Structure 1
Amino acid sequence: MTADVLPSQASLRILCLEDNPLIVLHLEHMIEDLGHVFAAACESFSELKDRFSGLDVDCVLVDIDLADGRTGPEAAAWLFARNVPAVFVTGQEQIAEAFRDLVVEVVPKPVAPESLQRALAKAATG
Protein backbone atom coordinates (compact mmCIF):
# COMPACT_ATOMS: atom_id res chain seq x y z
CA MET A 1 0.00 0.00 0.00
CA THR A 2 1.31 3.43 -0.88
CA ALA A 3 1.56 6.07 1.79
CA ASP A 4 -1.05 8.29 0.09
CA VAL A 5 -3.72 5.57 -0.02
CA LEU A 6 -5.39 4.93 3.31
CA PRO A 7 -7.76 2.06 4.00
CA SER A 8 -11.45 2.96 3.91
CA GLN A 9 -13.23 3.10 7.26
CA ALA A 10 -15.91 0.56 6.35
CA SER A 11 -14.60 -2.85 5.39
CA LEU A 12 -16.54 -4.34 2.47
CA ARG A 13 -16.73 -7.91 1.15
CA ILE A 14 -16.11 -7.49 -2.57
CA LEU A 15 -16.72 -9.83 -5.48
CA CYS A 16 -14.93 -9.33 -8.81
CA LEU A 17 -16.95 -10.06 -11.94
CA GLU A 18 -14.00 -10.27 -14.34
CA ASP A 19 -12.84 -12.91 -16.82
CA ASN A 20 -9.14 -12.02 -16.88
CA PRO A 21 -7.37 -13.88 -14.02
CA LEU A 22 -4.44 -11.44 -13.99
CA ILE A 23 -6.79 -8.51 -13.48
CA VAL A 24 -8.63 -10.44 -10.76
CA LEU A 25 -5.32 -11.05 -8.97
CA HIS A 26 -4.38 -7.37 -9.28
CA LEU A 27 -7.78 -6.27 -7.96
CA GLU A 28 -7.61 -8.78 -5.11
CA HIS A 29 -4.36 -7.22 -3.89
CA MET A 30 -5.73 -3.69 -4.25
CA ILE A 31 -8.93 -4.58 -2.40
CA GLU A 32 -6.99 -6.07 0.50
CA ASP A 33 -4.47 -3.19 0.53
CA LEU A 34 -7.41 -0.81 0.91
CA GLY A 35 -8.62 -2.72 3.98
CA HIS A 36 -11.46 -4.65 2.35
CA VAL A 37 -12.11 -8.37 1.90
CA PHE A 38 -11.82 -10.12 -1.45
CA ALA A 39 -14.87 -12.39 -1.25
CA ALA A 40 -14.79 -14.19 -4.60
CA ALA A 41 -14.45 -13.87 -8.35
CA CYS A 42 -16.75 -14.91 -11.17
CA GLU A 43 -15.81 -14.85 -14.83
CA SER A 44 -19.32 -14.58 -16.29
CA PHE A 45 -22.75 -13.23 -15.52
CA SER A 46 -24.14 -16.77 -15.62
CA GLU A 47 -21.59 -17.89 -13.00
CA LEU A 48 -22.54 -14.92 -10.81
CA LYS A 49 -26.23 -15.90 -10.95
CA ASP A 50 -25.40 -19.56 -10.20
CA ARG A 51 -23.21 -18.72 -7.18
CA PHE A 52 -24.87 -15.59 -5.83
CA SER A 53 -27.14 -17.17 -3.21
CA GLY A 54 -24.09 -18.73 -1.55
CA LEU A 55 -22.07 -15.53 -1.47
CA ASP A 56 -21.91 -12.84 1.19
CA VAL A 57 -20.91 -9.64 -0.62
CA ASP A 58 -21.35 -5.91 -0.06
CA CYS A 59 -20.20 -4.73 -3.49
CA VAL A 60 -19.39 -6.17 -6.92
CA LEU A 61 -16.72 -4.88 -9.30
CA VAL A 62 -18.12 -5.48 -12.80
CA ASP A 63 -16.27 -5.54 -16.11
CA ILE A 64 -18.22 -4.86 -19.32
CA ASP A 65 -17.01 -7.83 -21.39
CA LEU A 66 -17.10 -11.16 -19.56
CA ALA A 67 -16.58 -14.80 -20.48
CA ASP A 68 -20.20 -14.99 -21.67
CA GLY A 69 -20.05 -11.84 -23.80
CA ARG A 70 -20.82 -8.18 -23.19
CA THR A 71 -22.96 -9.06 -20.18
CA GLY A 72 -21.53 -6.62 -17.63
CA PRO A 73 -24.38 -4.11 -18.04
CA GLU A 74 -26.94 -6.90 -17.70
CA ALA A 75 -25.15 -8.10 -14.54
CA ALA A 76 -25.15 -4.55 -13.15
CA ALA A 77 -28.91 -4.31 -13.74
CA TRP A 78 -29.43 -7.70 -12.07
CA LEU A 79 -27.39 -6.56 -9.04
CA PHE A 80 -29.18 -3.20 -8.95
CA ALA A 81 -32.54 -5.01 -8.76
CA ARG A 82 -31.19 -6.86 -5.70
CA ASN A 83 -29.88 -3.67 -4.03
CA VAL A 84 -26.26 -4.79 -4.34
CA PRO A 85 -23.93 -1.86 -5.11
CA ALA A 86 -21.82 -2.35 -8.22
CA VAL A 87 -18.86 -0.51 -9.70
CA PHE A 88 -17.91 -0.79 -13.36
CA VAL A 89 -14.17 -1.50 -13.67
CA THR A 90 -13.49 -1.31 -17.38
CA GLY A 91 -11.47 0.01 -20.25
CA GLN A 92 -14.73 0.73 -22.04
CA GLU A 93 -15.82 3.85 -20.22
CA GLN A 94 -18.18 5.02 -22.99
CA ILE A 95 -20.24 1.85 -22.73
CA ALA A 96 -20.11 1.98 -18.93
CA GLU A 97 -21.34 5.60 -18.91
CA ALA A 98 -24.39 4.57 -20.94
CA PHE A 99 -25.38 2.35 -17.98
CA ARG A 100 -24.16 4.76 -15.26
CA ASP A 101 -27.53 4.74 -13.46
CA LEU A 102 -26.99 1.07 -12.49
CA VAL A 103 -23.69 1.56 -10.62
CA VAL A 104 -22.23 3.78 -7.93
CA GLU A 105 -19.09 4.59 -9.94
CA VAL A 106 -17.12 3.87 -13.10
CA VAL A 107 -13.41 3.09 -12.57
CA PRO A 108 -11.27 3.07 -15.71
CA LYS A 109 -8.61 0.46 -16.42
CA PRO A 110 -5.78 0.42 -15.66
CA VAL A 111 -7.10 0.78 -12.12
CA ALA A 112 -5.47 3.34 -9.84
CA PRO A 113 -5.77 2.59 -6.11
CA GLU A 114 -7.14 6.09 -5.47
CA SER A 115 -9.94 5.59 -8.02
CA LEU A 116 -10.88 2.23 -6.55
CA GLN A 117 -10.79 3.66 -3.03
CA ARG A 118 -13.18 6.48 -3.98
CA ALA A 119 -15.56 4.05 -5.68
CA LEU A 120 -15.60 1.70 -2.71
CA ALA A 121 -16.21 4.59 -0.32
CA LYS A 122 -19.28 5.50 -2.42
CA ALA A 123 -20.45 1.89 -2.33
CA ALA A 124 -20.05 1.79 1.46
CA THR A 125 -22.15 4.92 1.96
CA GLY A 126 -24.89 3.85 -0.43
Structure 2
Amino acid sequence: MTAIVPLRLFYLEDNPLIAFHVEAMIEDLGHVFAGSLSSFAELKASFSKIVMDGALIDIDLADGATGPEAAKWLLNKGVPSIFVTGQTEVAAKHASISLGMIAKPVAIEDMAAKLELFRSAIGSKG
Protein backbone atom coordinates (compact mmCIF):
# COMPACT_ATOMS: atom_id res chain seq x y z
CA MET A 1 0.00 0.00 0.00
CA THR A 2 1.39 3.39 -1.02
CA ALA A 3 1.32 6.22 1.48
CA ILE A 4 -0.45 9.37 0.34
CA VAL A 5 2.00 12.23 0.11
CA PRO A 6 0.81 15.32 1.98
CA LEU A 7 0.13 18.42 -0.09
CA ARG A 8 2.04 21.63 0.64
CA LEU A 9 -0.67 24.29 0.74
CA PHE A 10 -0.27 28.05 0.91
CA TYR A 11 -3.04 30.44 2.02
CA LEU A 12 -3.56 34.00 0.77
CA GLU A 13 -5.84 35.57 3.41
CA ASP A 14 -5.85 38.97 5.11
CA ASN A 15 -7.63 37.88 8.31
CA PRO A 16 -5.10 36.23 10.66
CA LEU A 17 -7.80 34.42 12.66
CA ILE A 18 -9.21 32.78 9.54
CA ALA A 19 -5.68 31.93 8.35
CA PHE A 20 -4.95 30.28 11.70
CA HIS A 21 -8.22 28.30 11.56
CA VAL A 22 -7.52 27.07 8.02
CA GLU A 23 -3.90 26.25 8.93
CA ALA A 24 -5.19 23.97 11.71
CA MET A 25 -7.63 22.29 9.31
CA ILE A 26 -4.94 21.70 6.69
CA GLU A 27 -2.70 20.09 9.29
CA ASP A 28 -5.58 18.08 10.81
CA LEU A 29 -6.20 16.67 7.33
CA GLY A 30 -2.59 15.50 7.15
CA HIS A 31 -1.23 18.15 4.82
CA VAL A 32 1.58 20.70 5.24
CA PHE A 33 0.76 24.37 5.78
CA ALA A 34 3.27 26.23 3.57
CA GLY A 35 2.49 29.62 5.10
CA SER A 36 0.20 32.55 4.51
CA LEU A 37 0.40 36.15 3.41
CA SER A 38 -2.22 38.89 3.43
CA SER A 39 -1.81 40.48 0.00
CA PHE A 40 -1.09 39.74 -3.64
CA ALA A 41 1.83 42.20 -3.47
CA GLU A 42 3.40 40.19 -0.63
CA LEU A 43 2.90 36.97 -2.59
CA LYS A 44 4.70 38.38 -5.64
CA ALA A 45 7.57 39.62 -3.46
CA SER A 46 7.93 36.30 -1.59
CA PHE A 47 7.00 33.74 -4.26
CA SER A 48 10.53 32.48 -4.90
CA LYS A 49 10.86 31.49 -1.21
CA ILE A 50 7.56 29.57 -0.97
CA VAL A 51 7.36 25.86 -1.73
CA MET A 52 3.75 24.91 -2.47
CA ASP A 53 1.67 22.42 -4.41
CA GLY A 54 -1.37 24.68 -4.40
CA ALA A 55 -2.82 27.85 -2.96
CA LEU A 56 -6.02 28.70 -1.15
CA ILE A 57 -6.99 32.28 -1.97
CA ASP A 58 -9.53 34.72 -0.54
CA ILE A 59 -11.12 37.25 -2.92
CA ASP A 60 -10.57 40.34 -0.75
CA LEU A 61 -7.00 40.77 0.46
CA ALA A 62 -5.07 43.52 2.24
CA ASP A 63 -4.41 45.18 -1.13
CA GLY A 64 -8.03 45.03 -2.36
CA ALA A 65 -10.07 42.48 -4.30
CA THR A 66 -6.88 41.02 -5.78
CA GLY A 67 -7.57 37.32 -5.11
CA PRO A 68 -8.62 36.54 -8.70
CA GLU A 69 -5.57 38.39 -10.04
CA ALA A 70 -3.35 36.37 -7.67
CA ALA A 71 -4.98 33.10 -8.77
CA LYS A 72 -4.34 33.92 -12.43
CA TRP A 73 -0.74 34.93 -11.69
CA LEU A 74 -0.11 31.66 -9.80
CA LEU A 75 -1.75 29.62 -12.56
CA ASN A 76 0.66 31.18 -15.06
CA LYS A 77 3.47 29.97 -12.77
CA GLY A 78 2.05 26.44 -12.71
CA VAL A 79 0.45 26.65 -9.25
CA PRO A 80 -3.26 25.72 -9.05
CA SER A 81 -5.57 27.46 -6.61
CA ILE A 82 -8.93 27.19 -4.89
CA PHE A 83 -10.87 30.24 -3.73
CA VAL A 84 -11.82 30.32 -0.04
CA THR A 85 -14.39 33.08 0.24
CA GLY A 86 -17.82 34.23 1.28
CA GLN A 87 -18.13 35.87 -2.14
CA THR A 88 -19.33 32.84 -4.04
CA GLU A 89 -20.68 34.89 -6.97
CA VAL A 90 -17.30 36.58 -7.53
CA ALA A 91 -15.49 33.25 -7.27
CA ALA A 92 -17.89 31.74 -9.81
CA LYS A 93 -17.05 34.52 -12.29
CA HIS A 94 -13.40 33.45 -12.06
CA ALA A 95 -13.99 29.69 -12.17
CA SER A 96 -11.76 29.28 -15.22
CA ILE A 97 -8.63 30.22 -13.24
CA SER A 98 -9.26 28.07 -10.15
CA LEU A 99 -9.93 24.43 -9.36
CA GLY A 100 -12.98 25.30 -7.30
CA MET A 101 -14.29 27.20 -4.31
CA ILE A 102 -14.69 26.61 -0.59
CA ALA A 103 -17.37 28.79 0.99
CA LYS A 104 -16.75 30.59 4.27
CA PRO A 105 -17.32 29.71 7.02
CA VAL A 106 -15.06 26.78 6.11
CA ALA A 107 -16.21 23.30 7.09
CA ILE A 108 -13.49 20.66 7.42
CA GLU A 109 -15.52 18.19 5.31
CA ASP A 110 -15.70 20.67 2.43
CA MET A 111 -12.01 21.45 2.82
CA ALA A 112 -11.08 17.75 2.74
CA ALA A 113 -13.10 17.11 -0.43
CA LYS A 114 -11.82 20.19 -2.28
CA LEU A 115 -8.15 19.65 -1.39
CA GLU A 116 -8.22 16.43 -3.41
CA LEU A 117 -8.68 18.62 -6.51
CA PHE A 118 -5.06 19.72 -6.04
CA ARG A 119 -3.92 16.10 -6.24
CA SER A 120 -5.64 15.69 -9.61
CA ALA A 121 -4.17 18.96 -10.93
CA ILE A 122 -0.66 18.09 -9.76
CA GLY A 123 -0.94 14.60 -11.21
CA SER A 124 -1.89 16.00 -14.61
CA LYS A 125 1.28 18.14 -14.67
CA GLY A 126 3.37 14.97 -14.78
- Name the % identity: 50
Of 100, 106, 118, 1:123 maps to 118
Q: 2:103 and 2:89 mapped to 1: Cα distance?
A: 10
Match of 2:22 in 1: 27
Q: Secondary structure at the match of 2:78?
A: coil
Residues 104-126 of structure 1, C-alpha deviations (whole Å, 9 max, x = no match): 11000000111111111011111
The aligned runs of 1:66-105 (5 Å cut-off) are 66-105=61-100
Q: Secondary structure at the match of 1:70?
A: coil
Of 43, 48, 56, 1:53 maps to 48
Shift of residue 75, structure 1, vs aligned partner: 0.3
TM-score w.r.t. length of structure 2: 0.91
Q: 1:102 and 1:117 mapped to 2: Cα distance?
A: 20
> What is the letter of the counterpart of residue 81 of structure 1?
N
Runs of 4+ residues deviating >3 angstroms: none
> What is the letter of the counterpart of residue 90 of structure 2?
I
> What is the letter of the counterpart of residue 107 of structure 1?
I
Residues 72-108 of structure 1, C-alpha deviations (whole Å, 9 max, x = no match): 0000100111110101000000000000011111000
Structure 2: stretches of 5+ with no match in the other structure: 122-126
Shift of residue 10, structure 1, vs aligned partner: 3.5
Match of 2:38 in 1: 43
Structure 1: stretches of 5+ with no match in the other structure: 1-8
CA RMSD of aligned residues (A): 1.1
Contact 1:10 1:124 in 2 (8 A): no
Count of aligned pairs? 119
